[in-house]
Structure 1
Amino acid sequence: MAKGVKAAVIGGVFAVMVGGAGYGAYNLMSALNGGGATGAGGGPAPARSGPPSAREVEETAAKFFAAWEKGRAGQAASYTNNDAAAEPLLTSYGENAHITRVRITPGAAKGDTVPFTVEAKVSYGGKSKELGYKSELTVVRGLTTGRALVDWRPAVVHPRLKTGDTLVTGEAASPPIEAVDRDGTVLTKEKYPSLGPVLDTLRDRYGDKAGGEPGIELSIRHAEESPESPDTSLLTLAEGRKGRLETTLSASVQEAAEKAVKRYPESSVVALKPSTGEVLAVANHREDAFNAAFEGRVAPGSTMKIITAAMLIDNGVTSMNGPAPCPPTATWQSQTFKNLTGLAPDESANATLAQAFARSCNTAFIKLVDEKPLTDASLTAEAEERFGLRGDDWKTGITSFDGSVPAAGGPDRAAGAIGQGQVQMNPLNMASVTATAITGRFRQPYIVPPTLDDRRLATAEGLRASTAAQLKQMMRLTATSPQGTAVRAMSGLSGDIGAKTGSAEVDGKAGSDSWFTGFRDDVAAAAMSQQGGHGGDAAGPIVAAVLRASG
């Protein structure tokens, strides 16, 4: 939205302290003055307790709706349990969002929850349009007063509102865009739902550069403390002129990614071209609509062993065919580490790094991280200098977290080697790690060509040719050898293929996060499914589906 439009922000603890007109302030003054209802003996009547009755739910909702319809923000707010937060938003509903002729139709209450439908009109600058949506409210018992009150949440006013958001209508902050994939196919939120937040960000950042003109819209303006969050358009009153924005995405790969993540809850995937760094697809299936594929910060489990193996090889500790025994347990500074449940033990002193990698043996890597010349900072140096994972310098075209492998001592040094401890990654990072591993060169991923805005992409040293060759072969074995943990997921894929599985334990969670990264010819992909189990259980099928579509 145009920045000149005044927007009232939800909440404000200060308002609670100084506001004298709210219901909470009235109760406080009444108590101090000895006012209020009286009981049979002349004293104050006891506050009611327990859940609101069906009649109280109906009456409270009706009063709230009636005041809201009439534009009486203060009165409507007085029927909530947080009038200081409710009144500014209800006021801006009419004054800043220019929403009028509000008609609210309640549905049948379900206990203390009342669903309802809103029908209204939005008018601005001689343009108007009908607005309709559904929401719900919950009636609760006031903690001190005993009154039945609407439990205040911004989503009561509109289901997409969160704390700190407000509604505004006016000239859009950025012109609309027509984003197209690498072959000119138009990318829309309707066809590719995962791209909704991505397209909003691209419009916010590049709308002015794409040659369009802004229209008039009703939008959600997000909290000022989140400057990276673009306005979310809810209703277009007057179309602007769209500017054409070229992206690196592939419509066919994106479609496969959308379908693949839908099969597993809390899942995300990224695909890119190792030869260029161009992102081909980004998809999420999450209840919170968070772009975890680019912005997630979680432990990557054994997919981290790609970087750890590179560290071992680069520092001369071992090689692909060098020793890496895999006992059932390994102790590091009094902490015992085990292999994953279901992994057959191999106590052979003749096990190689390639075998330990393919079978995802934790103990083999734990036993090697204290070998000379390794230090607490060796894994960090490998991640940053070779793989470009510094956490804050990638310029992908949208918001991203770029991986973090902090130097760590004690048990965290060992845990980091197997993708636990303080290590944080997301699918974008791990797809890039795979791309660097199989090509030997770090090419920063991007979704919009840097020539559009003269962005300077991040750089890193990359890998020695011999190290990259060994990593690629170990990933091939993981996807094709009889004992490889990625064989089942990668089965049936043609071409040059390789992979690495991972499972990350999460404090307080019974199940582990499922991780998987793989390549097929000139496409690398990585996925995570939180609470998805072993790497091949959920993340593996997602990556395989995306790689299959890239052929």
Structure 2
Amino acid sequence: MHEEQEYTDFADHAKYEEYGEYGEYGEYGEYGEYGDEPPRRSIARRVALVAVGGVFAALVGVGGYGAYNLTSAVSGGSSGDGGGDKAAAATQSPQQPPDAAQAEAVAKDFLAAWGRGDFTVAAGLTDRPEAARMALSAFHDGVPAKSLALTGTGPASSGTPSEPAVGFKVRAEFDGATEAWEYDSVLGVMRAADGRTLVRWAPSVVHPKLGAGKTIAVRPLPNPVSKPTDRKGRPLDSFPSLRSVLPQIAPPDGATVVTGQAVVLSGGGAQDPEQLFVLTPPSAPQVKLTLDADLQQVAEEAVKQQSAGGKPASLVAVQPSTGQILAMAYAPQGGFNRAVGGGQPPGSTMKVITSAALLEAGVGPGTVVPCKETTHSPRTWHNDEPGDFPAYTLTDDFTHSCNTGFIDKGLEKLQPGTLATVAREQFGLGLQWRIGIPSRDATIPVPGNKDEAAAEFIGQGQIQVNSLLMASVAATVQSGTFRQPVLREDVKRVTAPGKLPTDVARDLRSMMAETAAQGTARAPMSGLSGQIGAKTGTVEAGSGQATNSWFIAYRNDLAVAAEVEGGGHGNSAAGVAAAQVLKAGGKG
């Protein structure tokens, strides 16, 4: 048997008389307990109550944003006289617990009043009217549901003989949400001292997780962070070196970022708000980076091994034919990205650019450039390899990394500032690259005297570069063309003002190949096939300190630069790390 009752707001005294349950003016006399005027509900609502086999429901429309704070509502209030017409009529001995029918009846009336937005009436059916009214009002204001359905589900197992419990289901629908928010809750029923049957008020009636000091409200979710993938669409967020990089990736120009909304439970000492229901999920456009997840894994491991003991290190791998950055790793991980943001002297890896300048100045690979044990600028300079080698050519000096030969020939052939010009116009250093994340440009100052010039010829002094920049130098030699490295293809690249002359590129490749086969890079490059070339670098770090290790190389269409602070000679720490990556990814 169905029993349906329909409620509308009472616009005037006549309608109240017509529809009221208690006759002309209701239970409270001429105007009831409300004062001089008949009660008016602030928002017109409509509710249908259906009872079928003890299960009942209330469905109304509610809406509007408002204050989201339930704190005072769920923690305040005090026991009161309660209310409710039917509950007042059903008085019995205070010692007699409510029976199932009475519990269901008061629950039905409570849910109906709550559902139609009459929080005063609903609260009057509880043992703590003010606390209940505030909590129900705050829930209504904080959770802007398009419709709210409250459906009784019958006796709940949490009840006791003295205080039975009634279960009910909440279903809230929201504009723009693809699904409704549904959850189950329970209300307890008690016998008041005056014999009335009342709902035992608790914050958990509104939601099982709501407690003192907590709030439930719809709030915007944090702005979504794009989770870029590698070039093949594979995730990258598991790589330690990329954890601080990925959040720096901005969405493509013109892309839309959607900020989501969720029903959130917060407060009560919890560190992070708990999402109870997501109305609209956030979304951010996905970006494919140029990185290769397989090569990134190798680079991470190589840097980890060589940085053992706390030595800072970095490595960058670049594809010469495209300029795409394929791997980027650094240590300590999670901190400053020295791979693209660092700045330090590159040691003898700078001799690639010095050689390019000398070759353009008329010095050939076979030109005799004696390697003296010491030379002066007037500062005294020496080599790692002791002895005088007067018959060494430019190639020999490059292969064996002879400092004195490069200093003498550089001071003889090159004007102040030539090194910076060649680096800029042919290798693209000093052009303010935009790779997709912040990065540091090269610093190659014009020397103020011969000592400063001598230091720059061998990669010491005031020169500041990083692994990204030097990987690009190796890539430019391999391909013969500067292609600005990028982490994403949609960034605007810079182009070098000039071009590396074809014969200079050819001679540099020959010299780097000889260094990999017979020179200082022989050990780490051993066993690598294909088109290979390399240059070592060892940077003096100060009296009593271990030297810094640098290594740049290429194998077919893969160029790598690595540096390890305090790593010793270039062919040791940095060379080993670079060779690991070349072995894994430079097979052609």
Normalised-by-shorter TM-score class:
0.5 to 0.7
Contact 1:176 1:214 in 2 (8 A): no
2:372 corresponds to 1:327: yes
Aligned to 1:275, what secondary structure does the other structure show?
coil
2:429 corresponds to 1:389: yes
After superposition, residues 485-524 of structure 1 pair within 5 angstroms as 485-507=520-542, 510-524=545-559
Alignment equivalent of 1:199, drawn from 246, 255, 277: 246
After superposition, residues 120-139 of structure 1 pair within 5 angstroms as 126=217
In the alignment of these two chains, the number of paired residues is 357
Match for residue 477 of structure 2?
437
Match for residue 360 of structure 1?
401
Q: Which deviations, in whole Å up to 9, do the C-alpha atoms of 1:29-49 show, x marking residues without a partner?
A: xxxxxxxxxxxxxxxxxxxxx
Alignment equivalent of 2:228, drawn from 176, 179, 185: 179
Counting aligned pairs with the same residue, the percent is: 40
Distance 1:177 1:348, change over 3 A: same
Instruction: Quote how far apart the aligned CAs of 1:438 are.
Output: 2.2
Distance 1:125 1:409, change over 3 A: farther
Q: Which deviations, in whole Å up to 9, do the C-alpha atoms of 1:40-78 show, x marking residues without a partner?
A: xxxxxxxxxxxxxxxxxxxxxxxxxxxxxxxxxxxxxxx
Q: Which whole-Å CA distance do the structure 1 matches of 2:331 and 2:390 have between them?
A: 43
Alignment equivalent of 1:308, drawn from 334, 348, 354: 354
Instruction: Quote how far apart the aligned CAs of 1:509 are.
Output: 5.9
Distance 1:485 1:171, change over 3 A: same
Aligned to 1:498, what secondary structure does the other structure show?
strand
Contact 1:176 1:213 in 2 (8 A): no
Residue identity opposite 1:437 in structure 2: V
Distance 1:242 1:474, change over 3 A: same
Distance 1:127 1:478, change over 3 A: farther
Aligned to 2:301, what secondary structure does the other structure show?
helix
Instruction: Quote how far apart the aligned CAs of 1:462 are.
Output: 2.3
Distance 1:497 1:241, change over 3 A: same
Which moved further from structure 2: 464-473 or 406-415?
Answer: 406-415
Gaps of 5+ in 1: 1-121, 129-169, 218-233
Instruction: Quote how far apart the aligned CAs of 1:171 are.
Output: 4.5
Contact 1:215 1:236 in 2 (8 A): no
Bigger radius of gyration: 2
Distance 1:213 1:312, change over 3 A: same
Q: Which deviations, in whole Å up to 9, do the C-alpha atoms of 1:240-270 show, x marking residues without a partner?
A: 2243211111111111000100012211000
Contact 2:482 2:495 in 1 (8 A): no
Alignment equivalent of 1:478, drawn from 512, 515, 520: 515
Instruction: Quote how far apart the aligned CAs of 1:533 are.
Output: 0.8
Match for residue 269 of structure 1?
315
Q: Which whole-Å CA distance do the structure 2 matches of 1:213 and 1:124 have between them?
A: 25
Instruction: Quote how far apart the aligned CAs of 1:172 are.
Output: 3.2
Instruction: Quote how far apart the aligned CAs of 1:494 are.
Output: 1.7
Residue identity opposite 1:382 in structure 2: V
After superposition, residues 460-475 of structure 1 pair within 5 angstroms as 460-475=497-512
Match for residue 398 of structure 1?
437
- What is the TM-score of this pair, normalised by structure 2? 0.57
Alignment equivalent of 2:457, drawn from 412, 417, 427: 417
Aligned to 2:424, what secondary structure does the other structure show?
helix
Residue identity opposite 2:441 in structure 1: D
| Coordinate RMSD, CA, aligned | 2.5
Residue identity opposite 1:201 in structure 2: Q
2:300 corresponds to 1:258: yes
Q: Which whole-Å CA distance do the structure 2 matches of 1:123 and 1:496 have between them?
A: 66
Contact 1:393 1:458 in 2 (8 A): no
Q: Which whole-Å CA distance do the structure 2 matches of 1:478 and 1:235 have between them?
A: 59
Aligned to 1:499, what secondary structure does the other structure show?
strand
Residue identity opposite 1:292 in structure 2: R
Alignment equivalent of 2:562, drawn from 527, 541, 545: 527
Aligned to 2:470, what secondary structure does the other structure show?
helix
Instruction: Quote how far apart the aligned CAs of 1:285 are.
Output: 1.4
Match for residue 338 of structure 2?
292
Q: Which has the higher contact order (CA 8 A, sep 6+)?
A: 1
After superposition, residues 37-436 of structure 1 pair within 5 angstroms as 126=217, 171-173=221-223, 175-188=224-237, 191-202=238-249, 205-206=250-251, 211-214=256-259, 240-265=282-307, 266-286=312-332, 289-316=335-362, 318-332=363-377, 334-340=378-384, 343-345=385-387, 347-372=388-413, 374-390=414-430, 393-410=432-449, 411-436=451-476
Residue identity opposite 1:336 in structure 2: T
Runs of 4+, deviation exceeding 3 Å: 122-128, 170-173, 207-212, 214-217, 234-239
Instruction: Quote how far apart the aligned CAs of 1:235 are.
Output: 9.3
Distance 1:288 1:420, change over 3 A: farther
Gaps of 5+ in 2: 1-212, 263-271
Match for residue 577 of structure 2?
542
